[in-house]
Structures are given as C-alpha cells and as structure tokens.
Amino acid sequence: MERYNFSYNNLTLCASELSDEIFRTAFIGSLNSCPIAANSDLFRRKTSKHIGLKLSLAVSLSTVFLLVGLLCLAFGCRRQTVVWEANKHQSVSKEEQNISGPFSFQTDSTTWVADVKVATSVPVVIFEKPLLNITFSDLLSATSHFDRGTLLAEGRFGPVYRGFLPGGIHVAVKVLVHVSTMTDQEVARELEYLGRIRHPNLVPLTGYCLAGDQRIAIYDYMENGNLQNLLHDLPLGISRADDWSTDTWEEDNTNGIQNVSSEGLLTTWRFRHKIALGTARALAFLHHGCSPSIIHRDVKASSIYLDSCLEPRLSDFGLINGEEDDVPHWSPGYVPPEFYEPETGPPTLKSDVFGYGVVLFELITGKKPIGDDYSEEKESSLVSWVRGLVRKNQCAVAIDPKIRGTGSETEMEEALRIGYLCTADLPMKRPSMHQIVGLLKDIEPVVYQ
C-alpha cells in the first residue's frame, strides 16, 4: 500500500484487514462498509454461545422427558399388575359363585335344599335398599355357605343364621323350611306386606329371597339375644345358672351386655317391666293396629328379642306354618287350655293373650313354663303354680329373688294378677292386649331424678 493510492475513486470496501493509517492516506474518499458476517471473531463468538445454549436446553428437556417416561412406565406396570390381580380374584369369585346347584345344607335337626342352578341368578329383595344388587350368592358368602358356625338357633320355622350382607347390613337369615305350599307370587306378596309393618317393639323384616322352592326371610340382627336366654340360659351362652344369684347383667358403652356386679340392669323390676310393656305394645299393634289383625300364634320368651338399645322386640309374627293357617303349633308350656279339647277352633287373639300371660309369669318369677322347681306345690307348670298362689293371695312367694328389693313388691304382685287374667281358662274372660297395656302402664315404676 505504500506504492498505490486509491484516493478519490469513490470506492466502497471492507477495510477490516487494513490499518487505520493506510485507510486514511490511501483510500481518501472511499467508504468502509463491512458486513457483520465479515467480522469472523464476532461471528464465531455468537455461534458458540447459541450452540451452548441450545445444547443445554436439549439435555435438560431430554432428562425431564426421560424421567417422566420412566414414571409413566412404572405406574403403568403397577396398574396392570393390580388390575390383573383384581381380575384374577374376580374370576375366582365368579367361579365360586357360579357353581351349579342345587345347594344342600344340614343342621342337627333338619336338611334343607335350595334348588338353585346358579347362585348369582337368584335375587335377594332388601326393602329399604332396593338399588342394592344382592343375590343368593351374597347370602352364601354372608353365612359361610350356611355353615353351622353361623347358626343362631333352630326354631319352629327352620334354622336361623347370622351374617353380614354387602353394605354392612347385619342380618339374621331365617330359612322357612316348614312353610305352606303357597306359590312364589303368594309368598312374595305376603312377605312384602310383612316388610311394611313397622313398630318400635317388632323385629323388622329386612327382606327375603325365593331360592327355588326354599323361602328365606331376612331380619335385622338383634345383638342381645332373646328373653329365653336372658332368663333361663344366660345371655353369654352359658347353659347353666347354678350360681347366678350373685351375677347381674348391665349395658356397657357399646350397647352390649356384660357381666357386672350384684345390682345390674337386667335383674331389676324396672327393666323386666320394660320388657313386659314393650311386648304388650307389640301384640296390641298386631291385634288392633293392623288390618286385618295379625295373630302371632306362638307368643313365647324365645320370640322376644333385645336390640342394641335393650328394647324388647317381638319376632316371628305373621309367618305361615307348614299346614293350614288354623292349625296351632304351640310350644310346650304356652298352650291355651281350650286347645286341649278334642274339637277346637283356629287360634284367636285371645290365644296370643294366654301366651303373653305365661311370658309375664316368667318375667316376674324367673322360672320356666314347665320343668322348673315350683316350690312345694308339686305343680307341673308355671301357670298352674302361679294361679294357685294368686287365688290364695300369696303372690309374694312367686317373685323372683333376683328382683326382690329392686322395686315395689306391690307392683310386682299386681303384675302377677294381670298375668292371672291373661291365663284365664275361658278365652272370653281374658283381657285384650290394649287393656293389658293400660294395666301395665298403671303400675309402671317411677323414675326419680
């Protein structure tokens, strides 16, 4: 550049490689205009920065997507395993439930058969929860296939089992082995009617199932057993009462019954009067509050249950027996005297009144209807023994020692006289259940606050 001079040629050039001195002296009048790309240092610097940023972003995103993918894969595998296990159990359950019938079950006294081909095909009707999809297979599960371990009792209608239905429904399942030959439609109509009957002192019918020719009634489970157990067999399943005089029974915090001290709830006159009055109200409702009137036909201590609140509830009302409706099936010790006659009519409301009178005697004396120790009178039944004492004005002799001193003996003696009226030889001389409720309310123990 020392030998050439390009001044005043109006040149436009990129003088990035020329020194400032040469450009001022040899290129006078020329324009120095370099494109940005021509600055190699600047170009290389920005390219490197952008590439590093993009590379960092790509690595970060790849790592995130990899972690998300691994989590989804793990969750999917776990879910698939759970679903497979659930399907496996469901498949096993369906295989068990779909075993072909008929189903045969045996107790100590009877064998009964449910002529059902597929257990899941037979519905169970639950009155207050019609949307529950319950079938005979649920009854099988609830009672461990009607295992003897779930057997509560064997009554005149058939065996009774305990179980839990879906939805946590605690029930007593009564198999009506000894029932009439009514059609399924007639039985369903009868049970639907009984299911609508509600009273605080009646055991409610929860539902039913028609399993082939077998009819099954489902009741609310009564947690505290029946009066028969309470008075004679003890509530905790003890079959002997050799030394019960020092034991009593009381309500605990869970509404159950437990053994406590010598002054407990169930050995008080007040509690036994409560059972007597509640049972009388139940019968009065069946006799006078239903249309047509319902005759119980077998009023006895084992038909009276205690619920979780220790309220008395009468069971087995309205069920049809094996033969005709007018054929009585009284339990020993509860048979009205008119049914000992060669020709007698069907059971009546006054037949129930007699049975109630026997129960009232049991409550006050603590003795069984037959086969108990009736002091020195050598009587063969509770009714004849107590009636004899009432006639001789010796009612105090019959009062149970366990409740003596827990209330007014005058009230207890008056209750024995009410039982005397109920057990009159002639049905026409017996009071109605409405009248009995009134008489019992007149001697209701007073609770002082």
Taken in order of first residue, the domains within the chain and their CATH numbers are: 103-220 (3.30.200.20), 227-442 (1.10.510.10)
Residue 44 has pLDDT above 60, yes or no: no
Angle at 167 between CA 161 and CA 169, to 5 degrees: 35
Average pLDDT value for the chain: 79
Question: Which amino acid type is present at position 277?
Answer: L
Mean pLDDT of the 268-286 span = 96
The pLDDT value given to residue 65: 77
Instruction: Tell me the average pLDDT across 274-287.
Output: 97
pLDDT at 235: 44
For the chain, the farthest-separated pair of C-alpha atoms sits apart, in whole angstroms, at 164
Segment 92-101 shows an average pLDDT of: 49
Q: Does residue 161 contact residue 173 with C-beta atoms inside 8 Å?
A: yes
Using DSSP bridges, classify how beta strands 312-314 and 304-306 pair: parallel, antiparallel or unpaired. antiparallel
Helix, strand and coil percent figures for the chain, each rounded to 5: 45, 15, 40
Q: Looking at mean pLDDT, say which of 95-109, 244-258, 391-405 comes out highest.
A: 391-405
Could you tell me which residues are beta bridge partners of residue 249? 259
For the chain, counts of helices (H) and of strands (E): 10, 14
Lowest mean pLDDT across 41-55, 86-100, 163-177, 312-326: 86-100
The β-bridge partners of 205 are 219
Q: What is the pLDDT of residue 373?
A: 83
What kind and span of H or E run contains 332?
none
Phi and psi angles of residue 391, each rounded to the nearest 5 degrees, phi first: -60, -35
User: What pLDDT, on a 0 to 100 scale, did the predictor assign at position 185?
Assistant: 87
Measured N-to-C along each axis, helices 269-288 and 349-365 cross at an angle, to the nearest 10 degrees, of 170
Amino acid 259: pLDDT: 39
Rounded Cα distance between 209 and 365, Å, is: 40
Residue 279, pLDDT score: 98
In angstroms, rounded to a whole number, what is the distance separating the alpha carbons of residues 361 and 364? 5
Mean pLDDT value across residues 304-316: 93
Task: Write the CA distances from 145 to 94, 103, 109, 133, 297, integer angstroms.
Answer: 15, 9, 18, 19, 31
* Pairwise CA distance, residues 215 & 208, whole Å: 8
Q: What is the DSSP letter of 431?
A: P
Mean pLDDT of 325-351: 82
Q: For 284-293, how does the pLDDT look when each residue is reduced to its tens digit (9 = 90+)?
A: 999 999 999 9
Structure confidence at residue 254 (pLDDT): 37
**For 113-123, what is the mean pLDDT?**
82
Convert the pLDDT of each residue in 125-145 to its tens digit.
999 887 788 999 999 999 998
Mean pLDDT, rounded, for 105-110: 74
Task: State the pLDDT at residue 13.
Answer: 73
* CA-closest candidate to residue 361, choices 395, 392, 405: 395
Give yes or no for residue 27 having a pLDDT over 80. no
Q: Are 356 and 312 in contact (CB under 8 A)?
A: no
3-state secondary structure (DSSP) of residue 173: strand
Q: Identify whether the C-beta of residue 382 lies closer than 8 Å to the C-beta of residue 368.
A: yes
Question: With b meaning 16 or more CB within 10 Å and e meaning fewer, what string describes 361-371?
Answer: bbbbbbbbbbe
Residue carrying structure tokens 């030959």? 181
CA distance 393 to 174: 44
**pLDDT of the residue at 20:** 74
Round to whole Å and give the CA distance between 385 and 370: 10
Which position has the token pair 């295989």? 95
Mean pLDDT of 101-122: 77
Proportion of the chain above pLDDT 70, given as a percent: 76
In one letter, which amino acid is 225? G
Is the pLDDT assigned to residue 362 strictly greater than 70? yes
Q: Catalytic amino acids?
A: 298
The beta strand positions in 271-332, using DSSP E, are: 304-306, 312-314
Q: How confident is the model at residue 349 (pLDDT cuts 50, 70, 90)?
A: very high
